[in-house]
Chains A and B, each alone.
Chain A
Amino acid sequence: MTAYLLKRLAIAIATLVLASMVVFAVLEILPGDPARLMLGMNASADQVELLRNQMGLNAPLAWRYLHWAGGLLSLDLGRSYTYSVPVIDLVRERLAVSLPLALIALALSTIIAIPVGLFSASRRGRVGDTISMGAAQLGVAVPNFWFALMLIYVFAVWLRLVPAGGFPGWSAGIWPALKSLLLPAVALALPQAAILARVTRSALIEVLNEDYIRTARAKGLPYRAVLWRHALRNAMIPVLTILGLQFAFLLAGTIIIENVFYLPGLGRLVFQAITQRDLIVVESVVMLLVAAVIAVNLLVDLSYAIVDPRLRSRQ
Chain B
Amino acid sequence: MSLLDIQNLSLAIGDTQILRDVELSVAPGEVMGLVGESGSGKSMTALTVMRLLPYAARATGRVAFDGIDILAATEDQMCALRGDDIGMVFQEPMTALNPVKTIGEQVAEGIRWHTKASRAEAEDRARKMLDRVGLPEAKFPMSRYPHELSGGQRQRVVIAIACALKPKLLIADEPTTALDVVLQAQILDLLRDLVAESRMGLLLISHDLAVVTEMADRITILRRGEVMEAGDTARTLSEQFHPYTRQLAQASMHVPARARPHGVETGHPLLRVEGVTRDYPGRRMSLFRRAPGIRAVDDVSLSMAPGQSVALVGRSGCGKSTLARMILALDRPTSGTIRFRGETITGKSEAELKPARRDMQVVFQDPYGSFDPRQKVEKLVAEPLHVLERKPTRAGRREMVAHALHEVGLDQRDMDKYPHEFSGGQRQRLSIARAIITRPKLVVADEPVSALDVSIRAQILDLFAELNQKLGIAYLFITHDLTVARAITDEVLVMHDGKIVERGKTSEVLDHPQSEAAKALVTAAPDLHRAIARRMQEQG
List residues 213-255 of chain A with CB under 8 A from any CB of chain B. Answer: 214-222, 225, 229-230, 233-234
Which of A2, A218, A229 has its CB near the most chain B CB atoms (within 10 A)? A218
Specify which of A3, A219, A313 is in contact with B113 (CB 8 Å cutoff): A219
Docked Cα-Cα span, A225 to B101, in Å, equals 15
Residues of chain A lying within 8 A (CB to CB) of residue B285: 3
Q: B464 at the A/B interface (Cβ < 8 Å)?
A: no
A211, CB-defined interface residue at 8 Å: yes
A217 contacts B97, C-beta separation under 8 Å: no
A57 CB → nearest B CB, Å: 42
Q: Check A218–B145 contact: CB distance below 8 A.
A: no
Q: Is B287 an interface residue (CB 8 A)?
A: yes
Q: A6-B287, A212-B96, A307-B100 are in contact. Are A220 and B83 (CB under 8 A)?
A: yes
Closest to B285 in A: A3
Q: 1/0 per residue B133-168: CB within 8 Å of A?
A: 000000000000101100000000010011000000
Q: Is the CB of A212 within 8 A of B79?
A: no
CB distance from A290 to the nearest CB of B (A): 26
Can you name the residue of chain A whose Cβ is closest to the Cβ of B93?
A211
How far does the Cβ of B286 sit from chain A's closest Cβ, in whole Å? 5
Nearest CB in chain A: distance from B118 CB, A: 18
B105 and chain A: residue at smallest CB distance: A229
At the interface with chain A, which of B3-11, B84-92, B226-234? B84-92
CB distance from B15 to the nearest CB of A (A): 18
CA A219 to CA B95, docked complex, whole Å? 16
- Chain B residues lying within 8 Å of A3, measured Cβ to Cβ, are 284-287
Please give me the residue from chain A that is nearest to B148 by CB atom.
Answer: A313
Which residues of A are found within 8 Å of B162, using beta-carbon distances?
218
Interchain CA distance A215-B91 in the complex, whole Å: 11
Give the CA-CA distance A212 to B154 in the complex, in Å.
Answer: 12
Determine if B392 is an interface residue (Cβ-Cβ < 8 Å): no
Q: Is the CB of B84 within 8 A of A310?
A: no
The reply to whether B145 and A310 contact each other, CB–CB distance below 8 Å, is: yes
* Minimum Cβ distance to chain A for residue B202 (Å): 15
A212 touches B161 (CB 8 A): no
**A112-143 vs B, Cβ < 8 Å mask (1 yes, 0 no):** 00000000000000000000000000000000
A214 touches B90 (CB 8 A): yes
- A134 shortest CB reach to chain B, Å: 21
Chain A interface bracket (under 10, 10 to 19, 20 to 34, 35 or more): 20 to 34
Bound form: Cα–Cα A218–B52 in Å: 8
> In the assembled complex, how far is the CB of residue B45 from the closest CB belonging to chain A, in whole angstroms?
15
Q: Is B497 an interface residue (CB 8 A)?
A: no
- How many Å lie between the Cα of A111 and that of B30 in the bound state? 51
Report if A214-B52 is in contact (Cβ < 8 Å); known contacts: A219-B161, A308-B100. yes
- From known contacts A6-B287, A212-B99, A234-B100, infer whether A220 and B110 are also in contact, taking CB-CB under 8 Å: yes
User: Is A220 touching B114 in the complex (CB atoms < 8 A)?
Assistant: yes
Q: A3-B284, A3-B287, A218-B52 are in contact. Are A310 and B83 (CB under 8 A)?
A: no
Residues of A within 8 Å of B81, CB to CB, are: 220
Q: Are B82 and A218 in contact (CB under 8 A)?
A: yes
**A46 within 8 Å of B by Cβ?**
no
Q: Is the CB of B50 closer than 8 A to any CB of chain A?
A: yes
**In the bound complex, CA of A230 to CA of B96 (Å):** 12
Residues of B within 8 A of A6 (CB): 286-287
**Least CB separation from B88: chain A residue:** A218
B148 — which chain A residues lie within 8 A by C-beta?
Answer: 313
Say whether B471 faces chain A, with CB atoms less than 8 Å apart: no
Name which residue of chain A comes closest to B80, CB basis.
A220
**How far is the CB of A1 from the nearest CB of chain B, in Å?**
11
What's the nearest-Cβ distance from chain B to residue A240, in Å?
13
CA distance A293 to B202 in the complex (A): 56
Closest residue on chain B to residue A237 by CB atoms: B100
Residue of B90, B101, B113 touching A221 (CB-CB under 8 A): B113
Known: A220-B81, A309-B145. A215 touches B286 (CB 8 A): no
* Mask of B63-84 contacts with A, CB within 8 angstroms, 1/0: 0000000000001100111111
**Best-buried of A215, A221, A230, A314 by chain B (most CB within 10 Å):** A215
B505 within 8 A of A: no
29 A-B pairs whose Cβ atoms sit less than 8 Å apart in the complex: A3-B284, A3-B286, A3-B287, A210-B95, A211-B96, A212-B97, A214-B90, A214-B96, A216-B109, A217-B50, A217-B82, A218-B52, A218-B88, A219-B113, A220-B80, A220-B82, A220-B114, A221-B83, A222-B75, A225-B113, A230-B98, A233-B100, A234-B100, A308-B100, A309-B145, A309-B147, A310-B99, A310-B145, A315-B284
Not counting A2-B286, A218-B82, a sample of 15 additional A-B residue pairs whose C-beta atoms are within 8 angstroms of each other reads A3-B286, A6-B286, A212-B97, A212-B98, A215-B98, A215-B158, A218-B52, A220-B79, A220-B84, A230-B98, A307-B100, A308-B100, A313-B148, A313-B283, A314-B283
List 3 A-B pairs, minimum CB-CB distance, nearest first. Answer: A220-B83, A219-B110, A219-B83
